[in-house]
Amino acid sequence: MNQKDTEKKLAADKAVEFIEDGMTVGLGTGSTVFFAIKKLGERVKQGLKIKAVSSSNASTDLARSFGIEPVPIEDAGVIDINIDGADEADRFFNGIKGGGGALLFEKIVALNSKKNIWIIDSEKLVSRLGKYPLPVEVIPFGYKRVLDILRKYSPAVRMKADGFFKTDSGNFIFDLHLNKIEEPMPMDAELKQITGVVETGLFIDIADTIIIGRKDGTEILNK
C-alpha cells in the first residue's frame, strides 16, 4: 500500500472505533471512505449491530459487498455518526467536498447527523481552502447560462470518457478554479443564489471531528 492509502486507512480505521452497537451510521463516499466501510463490514461480521445510511450509489454497492444493507435516509431517523472524506479541510472545520461528485447527498446525510467525522490523508489539511477546484452541482436544463455567470471562476464542466459526468441525481458538476477562497461563507452564498445551482462543495462548519492519517498514526482535531 502506498503512503497516501496507508494514511487513509489509518484515519478510516480510527473513525470506525467511534461506532457503537445500535448506532445509525452515515456512509460518505470516496476512496478514504472505502476503508471505513470495509472496516465497518468486518465489525458487523463480528456481531456489531448498526443501521447504515449511504450517500451514493457507489457507497451503497460497496456496503452491500461488505455485508451491510443501507436503509433509505427517510427511514433512518437521526444519524448518530457520519463518516466521510474531504478533498480539502482547514483547521476551522471547513472543507471542500465533491471530488467524487456525491456532494449533494453527502451534505444531506451530514446535515441529518449528530456528529460528522471527516477522514483525510495529511496532504488534505490546508491553511486556506481553494487550491482544490470547487465542485458545484448544476441542473442540466439551461446550464450554459450558469456556466456564463461563473466564467470569472474558470469553470470546467466535469466530463467522463463518454460524455458529461452525471451525479446520482442526474445533474452536472462544474469544477471552479478559484486557487484560494478568502471567505468560504460569502462564496457559498454567492453561488447558491444562482438559479440552476443545486449545491456547492463548500462544507462550512459541518465537520465536528477531523481525523488526519499520518505516516505513523493519526491526529484528531475536535471542534
Catalytic machinery residues = 106
Residue 139 identity (one-letter amino acid): I
Binding mask 93-122 for ligand 5RP (x = CB under 6 A): ----xxxxxxx--x----------------
Q: From CA 200, how far away is CA 182, in angstroms rounded?
A: 16
Least Å distance, CB 105 to ligand 5RP, is 9
**In contact, 103 and 206? CB cutoff 8 Å:** no
Q: How many CB atoms lie within 10 A of CB 170?
A: 9
> Does residue 167 bind ligand 5RP (CB under 6 A)?
no
Tell which one of 7, 13, 80, 84 touches ligand 5RP (CB under 6 A). 84
Nearest approach in angstroms of CB 57 to ligand 5RP is 12
* Closer residue to ligand 5RP, CB minimum distance, 13 or 152: 13
- Residue-by-residue DSSP string for 89-120: E-TTS-EE--TTS-HHHHHHHHHTEEEEEEEE
List the beta bridge partners of residue 202. Answer: 96
Residue 184 binds ligand 5RP (CB under 6 A): no
- Report if residue 133 touches ligand 5RP, rule: CB under 6 A: no
Residue selected from 13, 25, 32, 188 as contacting ligand 5RP according to rule CB under 6 A: 32
Q: Are 211 and 117 in contact (CB under 8 A)?
A: yes
What residues are paired with 120 via a beta bridge? 212
**Is residue 86 near ligand 5RP by the rule CB under 6 A?**
yes
Is residue 30 part of the contact set for ligand 5RP (CB under 6 A)? Answer: yes
Residues 145-164 that bind ligand 5RP (CB under 6 A): none
Total residues contacting ligand 5RP by CB under 6 A comes to: 17
Query: What's 117-157 look like in SS3?
Result: EEEEEHHHECCCCCCCCEEEEECCCCHHHHHHHCHHHCEEE
Residues of this chain that bind ligand 5RP (CB under 6 A): 28-32, 84-87, 97-103, 106
